[in-house]
Every structure is written in structure tokens, then in C-alpha cells.
Amino acid sequence: LFDVEGLSFPQTNSDLYLPGEKQADDYSTYDAVEMFINAAKRVAPKLTFGEAELSYVAQICQQVEGLPLALELAASWAKTKSPELIAQHLKQDFSLLETQHTELPERHRNLKQVFETTWSALSKKKRDTLARFTLFRGGASLEAAETITDTHFSILLSLVNESLLKRLPPDRFDIHELLKQYATEHLSLTARETSSDRYCHYYLEFAKTQTPLLHSEDLAETSTRLKLEQDNFRAVLDYALITGNARLAQELCGTLRNVWLSNGQAAEGLKYTEEALALDASPSWERARALRTAASLTLLVAKYEDGEKLLYESLELFKKLQDQENTVGVLNDLCLLYTRQGYHSRAKELGETALELAEDLEDPFYKSMVHNSLGGIFLYLGDYDSSKKHYEKALAINRKKGFKWSLASNLGNLSMILAMQGHYEEAIGLIREEISIKRELNSLAELAVPLMSLGETLCLVNDYEGAFKYLGEALHIARQTENRRVITYSLSVIAKIKMDLAEHTEAIAYAQEALELARANDFAREAITAHKVLMVSLNTLKQNLTRSLEHAESAVQLCQASSSKYQLAELLLYLAQGLESFPETAVTLMALSKNLQNELGIEEMEMVKNDLARCKEQLSQEDFSRAWQQGLEFSLEEGSSYTLSTIKTIQASLDLALG
């Protein structure tokens, strides 16, 4: 009767049971569903089970976790209630599981009475253990069960043998939700308070000892252990918030920062952290760490202004507390924030300050972290040599110390430089290694970025099938985890591929969606790509030349504001392609692009040669040479101004022609 393993039933965990994997018709293959149907037909022979009814039966089976007696009792109501109403009732409580309308023996017509009979036969030690076990959410490890219930493995095993606990491999225990409800009533107020304190202390300490290992060689195992305890962490936070224990709530929120980030749980983590911070605004180490967590999660959903404010509040507290490790961490967070926003000088200043402080710390992880961030800054500034040096320093530390998480990030960053320098196959190899590590770590949120990078790089070797495959997966994960930047970037890259494949109508649709998101979230890089695609595709389709030029102007202005030499170099070539009626201007733009490419130390972009040949045919040697030399002599600022002036001139001539 209390077969806590239960019959097979449809799973509810989104990791195991994704929408679309099972159709309602397939539910009948589960033993629990079959048992419910048979029991229901005994009391309501004419009852039929179509697709809708089967889906509600599946819900009932999920709610009672396949417990045979519970299924019998729930099905006994089928004569007067539809499966939908039974499922809705069970969502509220389990009072339906007490009935007179059943062929079961009288002693089995009330599930609670069955439990009470079983309870009375247990020893005091077993009763105490079972009652205390009701505190757990999502089960417990052997260590946690022994510690919090103050019992021994032999007692737990005995309760498993009596079908009152479930044993999950390798050494984990859980209790059926129905039994938990009944056993909870036997946990005295005093015992509840004592056990709750022990429960909260255990999981806080567990989180504090496990989360640092996310940077170690044991990252995959640690990540798995932490994911198993997520429901228990939630229970501790709920308890802390209800009881007003600000210190506990803030400390656990500060500790779970990387867990929420790696799992893409920005909304959930931010909700808990904001509520924890609201409990007590007194300056403390716990509050400082919770502020950093709130900042990181806020930035993950692209709320930059709010995130910046939280980081500075956190930084001020850490400095007062003379916590150098966390000071370095927050400075690095600010460095990354300003890099994303295009404030590279400010980012560089903060990064160098963080590196200076990190040199004095024993833990090499902090040096690796800051070197990685500085590598990104110099990458955006176009100083590839400095960027590569910082990335390689970080990579050396991460490989030596086994910092897998940071290693994966390094591999992705180095691949960007290699791709820009034309070493595509080497770049693809590094990205695949990064993806392999992140798949091993089962980090869904962190997987989207390298998948996106791999898709983008495969385009450069004309593997469009592979590109769409990985970009599609990246976009799917990004939507699941609400990562707006990856969503926007993936859309912009797909738009660019469609443009390169001359599928301009689709390119415009993707680019418009990307541009809307980029504008809403202040994503400069993604906006530049979207403007570039719209500029080319609108011009190619001759749909709206004025709008095409407006997109060109916006893209140049964004490149100018963010000092993005690589983006501008590529943009100038695309713009030159569309200036068939202005060959001298096209040559000057190509020369300016060539100059920028030389400064960046990258190989000549493929589109230059064909366009130069076309312009040479249209111009005299003297005019061609003069236009080319003019472009080579422009500085970045002069070249940007010239380009904007050229666009305005063309717009004016177009307006005149249109009358």
C-alpha cells in the first residue's frame, strides 16, 4: 500500500520531460495511468479517456507520485468528478483520498488512517526520524539525513524497508509527498524549531564549502551536488525570509551567486536576494555579498544602470571591511560591465587596479579572472597583442590549477582573436573544447555563448548547415534562460548569414528583431550588425534606399562611439559595395578599411579584391590612386567623419533625384 517507489508515471521535471516529448496518447504506457483508468472504469464503466482526459490523469499520477492506494482512492471519485476536477482538487489538498465509494476493504478507505496505523507501530526513534525528515525538500543526502534527523543509517534503511522512505542511488533519501503531509503533523513545535535551525545551518555550511569548488577540477561533480540541493536551498531561504533572519538570508544569497548565474536562474535568484536585502539595510559582510549577487543577476538581464549602482554599494562595503578578495571581484565585475557598454578606458582603469590588488592574493584564481577581463578590453580596443598576452596568462593559470570554469571562458576568448586573424580552424577547435567543458559541467546558461560563437565561426569556413544548427541551439537556450544579449546576438548573426546567402527578405526580418532588442537593451555590437544587414539588404532589394543609408549612418555612429575598429572595417566594405555609382568614394572607404585591418593585424577581408577590381575599371589610374591614398591617410576619427559626410551627401542627392 505504501509502495513509496510508486508505479511509473509521467515526470514533471523540465530537465527530464520537455514539452513536446510526450503526447497525451503516450500517457497510457505508464503503469500508474493504466491503474487509474482501470480503477475509474470500475465505478464509471462508461467513462472514456480522450487526449484531454489522459493529460489530467497524468497530472493526478504526478500529484500522488504513482502511489497505488492513492490512485485507487482518487479514481473512486470518477463517478461524480471528471479527471480535470480530481486533478484540480488534489492541487489544493489530499482530502479526496478519504472515501466510502470504493471496493477496497474498509481499513483502506482512508489513506490518513492507514498511515496512522503504521505510525503507531513505529518505535519512538523511527517516529522522530520520519517527522524530522519532513523538513527536506527534494530529498537529502545520507550525511544531511543523519545530521538533521539526528539518526543513524540503520534507522533510515529500516524506514526504507518499511516503505516509509525512498532510497535513491547512490546514497540519497526522499519521502512521498502524501506521507510527508501526514508525518509533518507529528513534528512538535519545539522539535520543529530545533530541527529547522539545524537544517538551515547545515545547508548554509554546505553551500559555503561547495560553491568555491565551482572553480576547481571537481566542478562537474560539485555542480551536480549543488543542483540536487536546490529545493533545500529554497526552503532555507523561505524560512529565513518568513522568520526575518536577514543574516541567514543575505549570507546564503551571497553564497549562491555563482549557482544562480551558471543555472541561468536570474529571476528566481534576484527575487530572493532583493527580499533578503530588504530585511535589513545595516552594513555588513553578508549584505555586501548579497549586493554583489543582486548586481550580477541584474546585469544578466541587461539592467545596467541598476547593476552598476548595486556594484558600487557592494564595493564600498567590501573596502570598509578590508575584504580584498571580494574587492577584486567587484572591481572585475565593474570592468566587465563597462566593457560591454563600450566604456573601454574606464574598464581598463578598473581592470588594472583589480590586477594590482590580485597580485597580493594567495589564490591565483583572482589573477586569472582579471587577466581574462583585461584581455577582453584590449580586444575591443583593437590591441590584439596585449589582449592575447592577458588571455594566455589566464589560460596558463587555469590549466595549471584546473579552474575548468575559467578555462572554458579563456578558450572562447582566445578563439575570437584567432578567428579575427583568419585562423579559423584553430578557433573552431578551441570553441569545441569550450563547449565540451560546459556540456560536462551541465551548465545550460553558460552553454549558449560558445554555441553562438561556434555557429558564427563556422560561417567563415562556409559551413552554413553547421552554423544554423549551433546558432539555433544557442537561441533556444538563450530564450529558456532569458539571456537577452545572446538572443540579440544570435539573431543578428543569423541575419548576417542570411544576407551573405542573398536571402535578403529573411535577413531583414531577423535584423529588425535583433535591432529592436539591441536598442531596448543598449547592445551596441549587436545593433551595429543589425544596422549593417539592413543597410545591405534594403539596398540590394531596392526597397528603401533612404532607410538603407539611415542604417549605414547609425552603424557608423555606433562604431565611432564604441571605438570598434573591427566592426567599422567590415562595415566600410559593405557600404563600399553599395556605392556602384560613386567609385571614388568606394575606393576611399575600402582604403580606410584596409588601414584599420592593418592596425588590427588581421588578414585582408575577402570582399576587398573583387570590389577594387570593379572600381579600377570605372576610374582612371590617377583618380584611383588619389582616392586610395586619401583613405590610407585618414585617422579613425577622420575616417568616421568622412563616412558620415559621404552618407549625407548621397542622401541629399537621392532626395534631389526623387524630387
User: Does residue 199 share a domain with residue 295?
Assistant: yes
CATH number of the domain residue 205 falls in = 1.25.40
The helix (H) or strand (E) run that includes residue 166 is strand 166-168
Burial 7-30 (b: 16+ CB within 10 A, else e): bebbeeeeeeeeeeebebeebeeb
Residue 367 lies in a domain: no
User: Does residue 126 share a domain with residue 180?
Assistant: yes
User: Does residue 133 share a domain with residue 196?
Assistant: no
Residue 92 CB contacts under 8 Å (≥ 6 apart), including other chains: none
How far is Cα 334 from Cα 393, in angstroms, rounded to an integer? 21
Residue 338 CB contacts under 8 Å (≥ 6 apart), including other chains: 344, 346, 347, 350
pTM score: 0.68
User: Does residue 134 share a domain with residue 89?
Assistant: no
> How big is the CA angle at 377 (ends 371 and 380), to the nearest 5 degrees?
140
Per-residue pLDDT averaged across 83-102, rounded? 72
Is the pLDDT score of 106 beyond 50? no
Residue 119 CB contacts under 8 Å (≥ 6 apart), including other chains: 127, 182, 183, 186
C-alpha cell at 179: 506521507
Q: How many CB atoms lie within 10 A of CB 54?
A: 21
Q: How confident is the model at residue 372 (pLDDT cuts 50, 70, 90)?
A: very high
Mean confidence (pLDDT) of the chain: 87
Amino acid at 450: P
User: Does residue 639 share a domain with residue 558?
Assistant: yes
How far is Cα 80 from Cα 344, in angstroms, rounded to an integer? 69
Residue 659 CB contacts under 8 Å (≥ 6 apart), including other chains: none
Q: Alpha-carbon torsion 526, 531, 532, 536, what sign?
A: positive
User: Does residue 161 share a domain with residue 195?
Assistant: no
Residue 95 per-residue DSSP state: G
Residue 357 lies in a domain: no
User: Does residue 138 share a domain with residue 83?
Assistant: no
Is the pLDDT score of 396 beyond 70? yes
Residue 425 CB contacts under 8 Å (≥ 6 apart), including other chains: 461
User: Does residue 593 share a domain with residue 572?
Assistant: yes
pLDDT tens-digit readout, 476-501: 998 888 888 889 999 999 999 999 89
What's the domain range around 36? 24-105
How far is Cα 585 from Cα 574, in angstroms, rounded to an integer? 13
Q: How far is CA 486 from CA 476, 480, 493, 494, in A?
A: 10, 11, 10, 12
CATH number of the domain residue 174 falls in = 1.10.10.10
Residue 325 CB contacts under 8 Å (≥ 6 apart), including other chains: 361, 363, 366
Residue 308 lies in a domain: no
Of 396-400, 500-504, 562-566, minimum mean pLDDT range: 562-566
Of 11-15, 160-164, 511-515, minimum mean pLDDT range: 11-15
Q: How confident is the model at residue 357 (pLDDT cuts 50, 70, 90)?
A: very high
Q: How far is CA 472 from CA 127, 179, 441, 447, 491, in A?
A: 53, 44, 21, 12, 9
Residue 353 lies in a domain: no
Residue 570 lies in a domain: yes
Residue 505 lies in a domain: no
Work out the percent of the chain whose per-residue pLDDT is above 70. Answer: 91
Is the pLDDT score of 144 beyond 60? yes
C-alpha cell at 161: 524497508
Residue 253 lies in a domain: yes
Q: Which of 307, 244, 313 is nearest to 280 (CA)?
A: 244
User: Does residue 289 share a domain with residue 204?
Assistant: yes
User: Does residue 96 share a domain with residue 64?
Assistant: yes
User: Does residue 628 share a domain with residue 609?
Assistant: yes
Cβ pair 449, 487 in contact under 8 A: no
Is the pLDDT score of 14 beyond 60? no
C-alpha cell at 655: 532626395
Residue 495 lies in a domain: no
The half-sphere exposure of 119 on its side-chain side, counting CA atoms within 13 A, is 19
Of 58-62, 185-189, 206-210, 570-574, minimum mean pLDDT range: 185-189
Is the pLDDT score of 657 beyond 70? no
pLDDT tens-digit readout, 568-590: 888 888 888 888 788 898 899 99
- The number of folded domains in the chain is 4
Q: Alpha-carbon torsion 465, 572, 431, 439, what sign?
A: negative
Q: Which of 472, 440, 480, 477 is nearest to 454 (CA)?
A: 472
Is the pLDDT score of 540 beyond 70? yes
pLDDT the model gives residue 469:
94
Is the pLDDT score of 20 beyond 70? no
User: Does residue 196 share a domain with residue 291?
Assistant: yes
Is the pLDDT score of 137 beyond 90? yes
- CA-based max dimension of the chain: 106
